[in-house]
Amino acid sequence: MNIEKNRAALRRPRKLAARPGGRLERCLLMCGIVGYVGARCAQNVLLDGLTKLEYRGYDSAGLALSVGGGIRVIKSKGRLTALRARLEEATAAGLPAAHCGIGHTRWATHGEPSDVNSHPHSTPYVSIVHNGIIENYGALKAVLEAKGYTFVSETDTEVLVKLIDSCYYGEPLRALTQALARVRGSYALAVLFRDWPDTLFAVRRESPLIVGYGEGENFLASDIPAILRYTRRYSVLEEGDMVVCKAGSVQIYDEFGRAVQREKLTADWDIEAAEKGGYPHFMLKEINEQPAAITATVSPRVEDGLPDLRIPELNDQRLASIKRVHLVACGTAMHAGMVGKYVIESLCRVPVEVDLASELRYRDPIVGEDTLLIVVSQSGETADTIAALRECKARGAYVLAIVNVVGSTIARLADCALYTHAGPEIAVATTKGYTTQLSALYLFAVWAAEKLGRIDEMRYNELVAELSALPARIQRAIDLNLHVKYLAGRWHAQRAMFFIGRNIDYAAALEGSLKLKEISYIHSEAYAAGELKHGTIALIDEGRLVVALCCQTALFEKMVGNIQEVKARGAKVLGLAPEGDRRIFAEADDVLFAPGGEPLFAAAPEIVPLQLFAYYVARENGCDIDKPRNLAKSVTVE
Ligand code: AGP
């Protein structure tokens, strides 16, 4: 390797333009990282990878390329189209094809999206893209300023790159090790050193990063879809791993600097699964994939008509020791957990608590060795959920993860995992993630109830048959509600909406309401139907739409009472009832249907028309459905 400079000379702090009045502000990121080294045009591979990762963040993007003996950085505020345009300009002006580079798509919660805050951040000698938070960036910045470094952005990442620069004397691994030893926080980093133009460096701590293996080329990425077009073979990096990646070799070092091998996995997702396949939006595609995703989740675990979780660690002895269940998750996954509470308590007769992961860690929870902690997560990388998992594990809980992404942090931290097989979920608003989580929770509840002797054989057989019927019921829920598009046309102009239900319908109402608000930006609230009159009913006014979930047939009469209450205050009602239950026509202005079946499993089919309703309302309103404003797919910061 040609290191042409006297490193002592390189250590002179280089003056970079100061941003007048620049505010020192931490930049929290949930982003996509991609890296490429090989014979292809790196610009094309990186842009392609970033397109697949754009769901992780989409307020700015950038590339750093090893070209002409230096590092060329091109970045831009805005969606990838803005970066693409800048790249085209640069190509027209003579930028050659690079064969080694890193790229980034960003979602900021602090530090405005701007060209200057975008990644990569660089010095003349090193360029990095970063996902995570440098907690002590303020102190580090002061030290670097004292050495003569100046700063142009508001990001913690700029502090990090200058810290690495200050430790760099021609040996990249030493520079990374020394710099990161002084850093507190979380990071997945991909790094280019000017003096090493055919090598990618990467480090991972508490933020996901994979290495993809090609023929004469290799990849780095935050997530599998970014590399799927080129290779299915990959390894998930472990905490503290550092990688040296060349076109013909990948060397991984663990946190103690020892050369290690990480398990090579093969992604069974096909490329089409990560593309739209003729649908106008990923969300609509993923709604329609639900029957197949549930089949993939349930059928391998029902053998000869009997559920078998295929988790040897969760044996009879372990199960018998469990005195309580704690379900912990965020957002939609927490809504799945709420349904899980009703189902597990009803079938297993074990007390179940549901916690928002972001709350649990600050409330000294009653969790111990007799607790089964069920952590629910699509991505397996949600920071709050990971923190709650760690907290409960430290208190002795046994952890079962219901998780979609194989090898994710949650899957690896848990004692055992029950994978949902939803395939890649790209739309920010989760749909098949939710229904596969429900299916896994149903499966667990039926399996545990039988093992614990809490249900008789007849009930058990009935429930197993219902589990097997779920995919068909979901398909029926899609087919039954073709008129939902028309209903969305009727109601899309509402300023606010309410969702009400009782029991499991209430848990489903929470999810229906979240779907609507996150993609259509219409304010909506979900209420336990009986609770509405204790205050919130004051918000019901003339013409306000109330979506009334009436799929718990035993509670239908109670729901009729609640429907009457809101109608008396001028509300219009969109009723959601089991197929064939004609009583709803007498009560509601408009009607959606969910196929009947086991009431305990009603949430899975009944959410489908609500997902479709949210989708078509957002479409009527011209919203960016797959990438709603202010959101990111995977929330990897607290
Ligand atoms: C749902 O549509 C949201 N995207 C969000 O609530 C999500 O479910 C939550 O952030 C949890 O994510 P996870 O399942 O990946 O842990």
> Dihedrals φ, ψ of 286, to 5°?
-70, -30
Q: Report the pocket of ligand 1 as residue ranges, CB < 6 Å.
A: 330-333, 377-379, 382, 385, 428-430, 433, 518, 634-635
Which pLDDT value is given to residue 603?
97
CA of 235 to the centre of ligand 1 (A): 24
How high is the pLDDT of residue 28? 35
Which residue lies with its CA nearest to atom 10 of ligand 1?
Answer: 331
3-state secondary structure of 257: coil
Question: Got the DSSP string for 99-133?
Answer: SEEEEEEE-BSSS---TTTSSPEE-SSEEEEEEEE
172 prior amide bond cis, ω within 30: no
pTM for this model (two decimals): 0.74
Mean pLDDT, the chain, as a whole number? 89
**Highest mean predicted confidence (pLDDT) among 292-296, 306-310, 328-332:** 328-332
Q: How far apart are CA 510 and CA 521, in angstroms?
A: 15
Q: Please, what is the Cα angle at 337 between 422 and 436, to 5 degrees?
A: 15
Of 21-25, 69-73, 335-339, 584-588, where does mean pLDDT reach its minimum? 21-25
Q: In the prediction, which pLDDT does 272 show? A: 62
From the candidates 27, 31, 167, 392, give the one annotated as an active-site residue. 31
- Whether 551 is catalytic is no
Distance 358 CA to ligand 1 centre (A): 13
What separation in Å is there between the alpha carbon of 414 and the centre of ligand 1?
Answer: 18
Indicate whether 267 pLDDT > 90. Answer: no
Does residue 5 carry a pLDDT above 60? no
Tokens of 488: 């969305």
What is the pLDDT confidence band of residue 29, given thresholds at 50, 70 and 90?
very low
Check pLDDT > 90 for residue 45: yes
Q: Which of 62, 206, 197, 58 is nearest to 126 (CA)?
A: 197
CA distances from 39 to 98, 215, 249, 365 (A): 9, 10, 14, 53
> So what's the pLDDT on residue 59?
75
Q: Which is the closest atom of ligand 1 to the Cα of 430?
A: 2
In the predicted structure, residue 6 carries a pLDDT above the cut 70: no
The pLDDT of residue 2 is above 60: no
Specify the pLDDT at position 630. Answer: 78
Query: Could you read off the pLDDT of 549-593 as tens digits, one per residue?
Result: 999 999 999 999 999 999 999 999 999 999 989 899 999 999 999
pLDDT in the model for residue 110: 47
Distance 474 CA to ligand 1 centre (A): 21
In this structure, the residue with its CA closest to atom 6 of ligand 1 is: 331
Per the model's pLDDT, the better-predicted residue between 135 and 547 turns out to be 547
Ranges 127-136, 182-191, 261-270, 477-486: which has the least confidence:
261-270
* pLDDT at site 136: 87
pLDDT at 112: 64
Note if 31 is an active site residue.
yes
Residue 327 alpha carbon to ligand 1 centre in Å? 15
Of 549, 544, 548, the closest CA to residue 570 belongs to: 544
* Average pLDDT over every residue of 287-293: 92
Bridge partners for 265 per DSSP: 234
Catalytic residue among 75, 572, 627, 633: 633
CA-410 nearest atom, ligand 1: 16
Res. 273 pLDDT band, cuts 50 70 90: low
Round to whole Å and give the CA distance between 422 and 292. 8
pLDDT band at 16 (very low <50, low <70, confident <90, very high): very low
Going by C-alpha positions, the residue among 248, 217, 246 that lies closest to residue 231 is 217
Residue 206 has pLDDT above 80, yes or no: no
pLDDT band at residue 55 under the 50/70/90 scheme: low
Instruction: For ligand 1, atom 9, name the residue with the nearest CA.
Output: 331
With b for 16 or more beta-carbon neighbours within 10 A and e for fewer, the 126-146 pattern comes to bbbbbbbbbeebeebbeebee
Has residue 176 got a pLDDT over 80? yes
pLDDT recorded at residue 108: 60
pLDDT digits (tens, 9 = 90+) for 317-359: 899 999 999 999 999 999 999 999 999 999 999 999 999 999 9
Confidence of residue 58 (pLDDT cuts 50, 70, 90): low
Q: How far is CA 310 from the centre of its chain?
A: 25
At 111, the pLDDT band (50, 70, 90 cuts) reads low
The Cα-based distances of 398 to 3, 164, 315, 418 in angstroms read: 52, 39, 12, 14
Compute the average pLDDT of residues 39-54.
92
pLDDT at residue 548 tops 90: yes
Supply the pLDDT for residue 52. 84
